[in-house]
């Protein structure tokens, strides 16, 4: 018998037919004797609908009241799933974020989980009752409802799994695992059996949409084994062909057991939600760059791919960087408000860009990964506008129109294509 947390996303909960399919899947796991908690998202599109109402009510809405509205989507699906489980003979009840409670800190609309009180939850699971928990929501210290930011149900599931010391956290989505790249772009993309936390964290942060970045970071910190599965497979299937997210040590042990070699590159990710900003004619002196990025950091705007051009006259230089496309207007407003302190000439922006990333822990011990990327793109006439790297990732900024071509040629260049059928 194992203790398992099952999480179902919006597409899995989109209507009563799919909720009944989820209930059948949960029942199958319960019938095997496992203790089960289920974390659910709102129905697909429901959160967007509720956010739209908030914007209609007030352009400058109160984030605390926003949380009250948008948390309703998960409350509906948790109640519906609990009802459906009871209708097929499975003991179940819903536990809202404030009932456990899931305590959160920091700001409304982007809260972080601090603690989860689990005594009642574990007692219910041990008695054979399925706990159905709405993802994405919690409770602030003042007792008010809070939400964790878009995609927060993944984080809720991992946090619950860590709190109840679950053997595994199964994330059910509309894909059957983590692929070497988006299979809609590359038909010969391969599903991965195992991915390390670090690799998944990098893939999630640079555009892979399978898991929310914060959930992967939390799983790595707490040592939660995560499995990505499709909610559209046969709900009674025992041999679940998903992707396990594991530690580096667990991956090495598995490779040793199967006598397989570690793949140099794990995957290629792309992100079209990037915007490029060029701040021109910035004084070339100590503190000038800090005057650009400090106000952006104070506004919680994430900056990536920073390039400072060489100063030809030792007096002025251009600074190029990227921000999330949704933060572009706010970034420009902040820079303009600080123009006198920064001393720049003008700001140039470009939203027609995309970030392409090559990720793999194998590059720690192999040279030439970046060179292969640059050469491959050059051979297809794809210009690189900016570069950023980490220990297991190389990212480049290119023209948005060349995204699919870049992903395909890089996938082939690194030997990731599945054999032809």
Q: In this predicted model, what pLDDT tens digit does every residue of 15-32 receive, in sequence order?
A: 999 999 999 999 999 999
Higher local confidence (pLDDT), 213 or 126: 126
pLDDT band at residue 344 under the 50/70/90 scheme: very high
Range scoring the smallest mean pLDDT among 84-88, 261-265, 395-399: 261-265
Q: What is the pLDDT of residue 249?
A: 84
| Nearest residue to 401 via CA among 352, 349, 328, 351 | 352
Binned at pLDDT 50, 70 and 90, residue 285 comes out as confident
pTM: 0.80
Extract the annotated binding site. 7-10, 47, 74, 173-174, 179, 184, 209-210
With a cut of 80, say whether residue 257 has pLDDT above it.
no
User: Could you tell me what percent of the chain has a pLDDT over 90?
Assistant: 64
Q: What pLDDT, in 10s, does the model give residues 224-247? A: 999 998 887 766 666 667 888 988
Q: Which residues contact 147 (CB under 8 A, 6 or more apart)?
A: 66, 67, 70, 71, 108, 109, 110, 111, 136, 137, 138
- The pair of structure tokens assigned to 36 is 């089960």
Q: List the structure tokens of 381.
A: 């006439």
Distance of CA 163 to the CA centre of its chain: 20
The DSSP 8-state label assigned to residue 179 in this structure reads: B
Q: Who has greater pLDDT, 179 or 310?
A: 179
The annotation places the binding site for ATP at: 7-10, 173-174, 179, 184, 209-210
Kindly give, in sequence order, each residue whose CB lies less than 8 Å from that of residue 142, ignoring residues fewer than 6 positions away.
Answer: none
126 vs 309, which has greater pLDDT? 126
273 in helix, strand or coil? strand
Query: Which helix (H) or strand (E) covers residue 255, if one does?
Result: helix 248-258
What the block records as the tokens of 233 is: 């497979």
Eight-state DSSP code of residue 363: G
In this structure, what token pair is assigned to residue 303? 């900056």
* pLDDT tops 80 at residue 259: no
Arithmetic mean of pLDDT, 187-199: 89
Please give the Cα distance from 353 to 400 (Å, whole number): 4
Whole-angstrom Cα distance, residue 316 to residue 234? 63
232 CB-near residues (< 8 Å, 6+ apart): 21, 174
Q: Are 213 and 199 in contact (CB under 8 A)?
A: no
Contact 179, 191 (CB under 8 A): yes
Highest mean pLDDT among 174-178, 201-205, 406-410: 406-410
Structural element, H or E, at residue 357:
strand 347-359
DSSP state of 420: P
C-alpha closest to that of 229 among 248, 210, 201, 250: 210
- Res 212: pLDDT: 79
At 342, list the tokens: 């920064």
Residues in the chain: 421
**pLDDT of the residue at 126:** 95
Give residue 363's pLDDT.
82
Tell me the domain boundaries of the chain.
1-256, 262-420
Mean pLDDT over residues 130-158, rounded?
A: 94
What is the DSSP code (8-state) at residue 399? E
- Judge whether residue 187 has pLDDT over 80: yes
CATH top-level class of 262-420: alpha beta
Average pLDDT over residues 20-45: 96
Question: Is pLDDT of 301 > 70?
Answer: yes
Tokens at residue 145, please?
């409802």
Strand arrangement, sheet containing 168-173:
92-94, 130-134, 35-40, 3-8, 168-173, 226-230, 243-246, 194-196
For residues 61 and 56, what is the distance between their CA atoms, to the nearest angstrom?
Answer: 9
Pick the CATH number of 1-256 from 3.40.1160.10, 3.90.550.10, 3.40.640.10, 3.40.718.10: 3.40.1160.10
Residue set of the binding site for substrate = 47, 74
């Amino acid at each position: 018998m194992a203790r398992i947390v099952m999480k179902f996303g919006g597409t899995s909960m989109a209507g009563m037919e799919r909720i009944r399919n989820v209930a059948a899947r949960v029942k199958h796991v319960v019938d095997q004797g496992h203790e089960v908690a289920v974390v659910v998202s709102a129905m697909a599109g429901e959160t967007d609908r509720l956010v739209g109402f908030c914007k209609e009510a007030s352009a400058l809405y109160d984030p605390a009241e926003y949380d009250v509205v948008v948390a309703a989507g998960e409350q509906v699906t948790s109640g519906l799933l609990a009802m459906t489980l009871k209708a097929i003979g499975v003991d179940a009840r819903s536990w809202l974020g404030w009932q456990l409670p899931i305590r959160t800190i920091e700001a409304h609309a982007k809260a972080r989980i601090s603690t989860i009180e689990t005594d009642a939850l574990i007692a219910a699971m041990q008695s054979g009752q399925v706990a159905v928990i709405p993802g994405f929501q919690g409770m602030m210290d003042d007792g008010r409802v809070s939400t964790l930011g878009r995609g927060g149900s993944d984080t809720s599931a991992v946090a619950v799994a860590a709190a109840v010391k679950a053997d595994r956290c199964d994330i059910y989505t509309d894909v059957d695992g983590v692929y070497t790249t988006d299979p809609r772009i590359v038909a010969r993309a391969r599903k991965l059996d195992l991915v390390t936390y670090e690799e998944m964290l990098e893939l999630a942060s640079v555009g892979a949409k399978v898991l929310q970045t914060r959930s992967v970071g939390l799983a790595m910190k707490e040592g939660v084994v995560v499995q990505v599965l499709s909610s559209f497979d046969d709900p009674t299937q025992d041999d679940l062909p998903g992707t396990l997210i594991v530690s580096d040590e667990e991956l090495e042990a598995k490779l040793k057991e199967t006598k397989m070699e570690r793949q140099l590159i794990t995957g290629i990710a792309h992100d079209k939600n990037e915007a490029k900003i060029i701040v021109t004619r910035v004084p070339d002196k100590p503190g000038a760059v800090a005057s650009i990025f400090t106000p952006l950091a104070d506004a919680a705007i994430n900056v990536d791919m920073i390039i400072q051009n060489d100063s030809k006259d030792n007096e002025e230089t251009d600074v190029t960087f990227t921000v999330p496309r949704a933060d572009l207007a706010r970034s420009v407003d902040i820079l303009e408000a600080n123009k006198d302190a920064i001393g720049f000439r003008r700001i140039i922006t470009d939203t027609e860009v995309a970030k392409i990333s090559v990720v793999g822990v194998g590059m720690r011990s192999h040279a030439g990964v970046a060179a292969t990327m640059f050469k491959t793109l050059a051979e297809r006439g794809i210009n690189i506008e900016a570069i950023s790297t980490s220990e297991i990732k190389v990212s480049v900024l290119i023209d948005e129109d060349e995204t699919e071509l870049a992903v395909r040629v890089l996938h082939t260049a690194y030997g990731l294509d599945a054999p032809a059928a």
